[in-house]
Structure 1
Amino acid sequence: MPNPQAPSSERPTVWKTLKNDFRTTEFKKSLAYDFNEAKEYYLDKEQLARLERMGAFKRWIYSTTWLLKALFLKLTSARRILLLVSMLLIITDNDQSAKSLLGGLLLLFILLLELKDKLLARHELFEGHLVQEALMPERTPALPGWEAWLFTRSANEVGGDLVDFIELENNRYGLVLGDVVGKGLRAALFMARLQAIVRAMLPDFESLGDLGTKLNRIFYRDVRGNFATLIYLEINPDSRRIRFLNAGHLPPVIFNSVEAREAPKGGPALGLIPDAGYEEQSIELREEESLLIYSDGLTETRNERGTFLGEERVLKFLPRVAADSAAAIGERLVAEVIRFMGMAKAHDDLSLIVLKPKQGAAGSRQ
């Protein structure tokens, strides 16, 4: 699970670094994680499917061969030549001469260049991560009459999920959760574009259906060939009624300590159909009920065996935490996701919004 960190100002020593490496108890798990991640990156779906049908020894031979081939082909032409020369020097050194040493130094030089490229790319992505963090609202925004908890975690250094909180005129508050197709930097750029469009248009639309129609036309025009799902909630502190627009997103989940149920589905995703129509929907929360909005990164979380967390597990989990505060519900749900994943890699961005009427607020007495 990537977690970008700012560069440390302390310069580590080789001895201290190695000592910490040997002390770690996660070496075997970390190595297995890195190997599985390398397979997922370098091998295509057909190769991965073939590996699943092989025995352990044959699978190791084929995966190693395919990984080495992919590594060789993905190097630049100059580095491929250096790698070939270094291997020839090492293989043909029958008299223990300096050829093996030279070959080893060439391998280290190639590693140095590849690591440099990786660190430069990581630094750029870290800067992008900081920008996304700056655009992210507070995790528990001030929402009169309501408890609100917002969360997003990208599968990579930057992600394509949108979570936003917007104060509007006339005592109205807006919450947005969107999911742009894809992952990584490309999805992050589209997400920033979508956030800007939504924020610019919200003050001009009273009808959420009209808002969805206009958003779709702009997204289809400006981001041709891509699409995004989006759910926009509008809340009034004096009422438990939530107006919302659902453009192809997973339905909100209403839950209490007894059951969890989904709201009706909405319209198509943004950017798919140029003239798509949308309708405003609404939810009236009853006593002790809460609302969950989530991205598909929740239900599509996979563990080390490739099993999905799934909608059924989520719906069974929510009643167990329904009595908690909105923040506690969200944090316990994220903890359950982490527990289920184990050492598996996060394959998709995860975003959540939990809403709960405050006890004693004006809206809760209706």
Structure 2
Amino acid sequence: MRPAVNSPDDAAERLRQIELVTDTALAHLESDDLLREMLHRVSKLLNVDTATVMRYEPAGELLVATAAVGIEDEVRQNVRVHVGPAFADAVASGRRPPILDSQEDPSVLRPVFQEHGIDTLIGTPMLAGGEIIGVLYIGTYETRRFTEHDVHLLQLVADRIALAIHASTTHAERAATKALQRSLLPTRLPTVPGITLDARYVSGVDPGVGGDWYDVFTLPSGHIGIVIGDVVGSGLAAAIIMGRLRSALRAYALETEDPAQVLHKLDRKVTHFEPNAMATVAYSIYDPAATTLHISMAGHLPPVIGTPSSGSHLAEVPVDPPVGLGVARRKRRTSMLTLPTNGVVCFFTDGLVERRHRSIDLGLEQLCEAIHPAPAGTVCTTVMNKLVGTEPPTDDVALLAISHSG
């Protein structure tokens, strides 16, 4: 049986080993470099032949080889393990560091381990912020009994790696989310005789936001499609779903000019292909000749209508369930609004009116007070100044104004 070379017999040796894996000098390293350095250090400290980090991908319930020492081909070959009864899976699922011996339980070893002749493995979950990041495991070619100190040291390394991966992933995901959001927003709004169009979009400062969007496009008939929506959820996943919904809605808008039918098709698509997704959406079709909006609401807040004579108020339109709920208790409805002469209609997402220490009713009241008939650009500027001001919003904010130019 292979002994543990670095079994510490005194407090000084234990402290030296702990300092090696918690060295603050490692903080300047990029995530990939830190992973490799930590794996090299733990391999030497614990006298093991292999050390591997497997990242957890919850969407596919997979563990994916990300970094390795001793069996680097795991990473090069993009080894992927489905969550199940195998060793790494058991560690991830149980969130505990079991010690497994291939002779006692051969089912725990995947073919890749058997090919390398690995006899004994120990693994521990990598957790950060209460979420599982992945699994760190080490292995030896000879039979080995790991001590409690070995397990403790391995857990310290796992914690250090988990924090580094979490920080790097959070930063990269937020950058990717913002880039995706911006790429999906219209670069230029259509020019439509008789009206002005303008919009604002501000990313929230809370980590993980990312599902708001607006869209304006010209239909083959010459009518104008107007969309605003908010995907329930956060982060890159919500932004990706938002992109899919945007593309699907545009496709359905070419099939019918009934907004309710478009949202019905979108609901069916989300329910079938995105079973865990849900979004609120308002879809309108503007007829320039009649200056009317045909609108269907899927769980979204109604737009605000501003007129020169009677002030501003929330549009009185029926609101049907959000898309993705899969409920078909009633047929979705389309309503008609008339764009008032020299008036304005404002669509928005809830990030504009919701605050942690303020009721949404107060936010809606302030929004109505801020909207007065004016060119769309002026309306957007006024609303953002009064409701957002100089303090960055915690949630994403999307605002779209349509002003009648007389």
Query: CA 1:214 to 1:73, structure 2 compared with 1: closer, same or farther past 3 Å?
Result: closer
Asked if 1:199 corresponds to 2:247, the answer is no
**DSSP-derived class of the 1:204 partner:** coil
Structure 1, residues 86-133: CA drift from partner, whole Å, max 9, x if none?
xxxxxxxxxxxxxxxxxxxx99xx989846752454234323422321
**DSSP-derived class of the 1:269 partner:** coil
Matched residues in 1 for 2:261 and 2:320: separation? 12
Which residue of the other structure, out of 234, 254, 259, is the alignment partner of 2:305? 254
Asked if 1:243 corresponds to 2:294, the answer is yes
| Number of aligned residues | 264
**Hey, what does 1:6 align to over in structure 2?**
none
Deviation at 1:229, TM superposition (A): 1.0
Matched residues in 1 for 2:261 and 2:162: separation? 53
Higher helix proportion (structure 1 or 2):
1
Contact 1:129 1:158 in 2 (8 A): no
Contact 2:176 2:236 in 1 (8 A): no
Contact 1:139 1:151 in 2 (8 A): no
Asked if 1:129 corresponds to 2:129, the answer is no
Query: CA 1:140 to 1:315, structure 2 compared with 1: closer, same or farther past 3 Å?
Result: farther
Contact 1:208 1:244 in 2 (8 A): yes
Letter in 2 for 1:325: P
Contact 1:254 1:261 in 2 (8 A): yes
Query: CA 1:312 to 1:191, structure 2 compared with 1: closer, same or farther past 3 Å?
Result: same
Structure 1, residues 278-315: CA drift from partner, whole Å, max 9, x if none?
1111101222321111111122134xxx234x334444
Deviates more, 1:238-247 or 1:115-124: 115-124
Percent of matched pairs sharing the same residue:
24
Matched residues in 1 for 2:276 and 2:187: separation? 32
Structure 1, residues 122-179: CA drift from partner, whole Å, max 9, x if none?
2343234223212110365423321111222232476101211122112111111011
Deviation at 1:259, TM superposition (A): 1.9
Query: CA 1:116 to 1:356, structure 2 compared with 1: closer, same or farther past 3 Å?
Result: same
Contact 2:312 2:371 in 1 (8 A): no
Tell which has more relative contact order, 1 or 2 (C-alpha 8 A, sep 6+). Answer: 1
Contact 1:255 1:319 in 2 (8 A): no
| TM-score where L is the length of structure 1 | 0.62
User: What runs of 5+ residues in structure 1 fail to find an aligned partner?
Assistant: 1-69, 86-105, 360-366
**DSSP-derived class of the 1:339 partner:** coil
Deviation at 1:186, TM superposition (A): 1.9
**Hey, what does 2:348 align to over in structure 1?**
294
Which residue of the other structure, out of 174, 179, 196, is the alignment partner of 1:147? 196
Asked if 1:179 corresponds to 2:240, the answer is no
Contact 1:256 1:319 in 2 (8 A): no
Which residue of the other structure, out of 361, 366, 381, is the alignment partner of 1:331? 381
Asked if 1:229 corresponds to 2:276, the answer is no
Query: CA 1:144 to 1:72, structure 2 compared with 1: closer, same or farther past 3 Å?
Result: closer
Contact 2:180 2:239 in 1 (8 A): no
Letter in 1 for 2:384: V
Query: CA 1:241 to 1:72, structure 2 compared with 1: closer, same or farther past 3 Å?
Result: closer
**DSSP-derived class of the 1:231 partner:** strand
Matched residues in 2 for 1:350 and 1:284: separation? 26
Deviation at 1:227, TM superposition (A): 1.4
Structure 1, residues 245-286: CA drift from partner, whole Å, max 9, x if none?
111111121113542222223211111134352111110122
Matched residues in 2 for 1:247 and 1:336: separation? 27
Matched residues in 2 for 1:253 and 1:338: separation? 17
> Which aligned pairs between 1:106-121 and structure 2 lie closer than 5 A?
114=163, 118-119=167-168, 121=170
Letter in 2 for 1:272: L
Matched residues in 2 for 1:238 and 1:75: separation? 56
> Which aligned pairs between 1:1-366 and structure 2 lie closer than 5 A?
114=163, 118-119=167-168, 121-138=170-187, 140-155=189-204, 156=207, 159-257=210-308, 258-263=310-315, 264-275=317-328, 276-302=330-356, 306-308=357-359, 310-339=360-389, 342=391, 346=394, 348-359=395-406
Letter in 1 for 2:404: P
Greater radius of gyration (CA): 2
Matched residues in 2 for 1:300 and 1:157: separation? 17
Deviation at 1:317, TM superposition (A): 4.7
Deviation at 1:329, TM superposition (A): 1.1
Letter in 1 for 2:403: K
**DSSP-derived class of the 1:134 partner:** helix
Query: CA 1:74 to 1:329, structure 2 compared with 1: closer, same or farther past 3 Å?
Result: same
Letter in 1 for 2:314: E
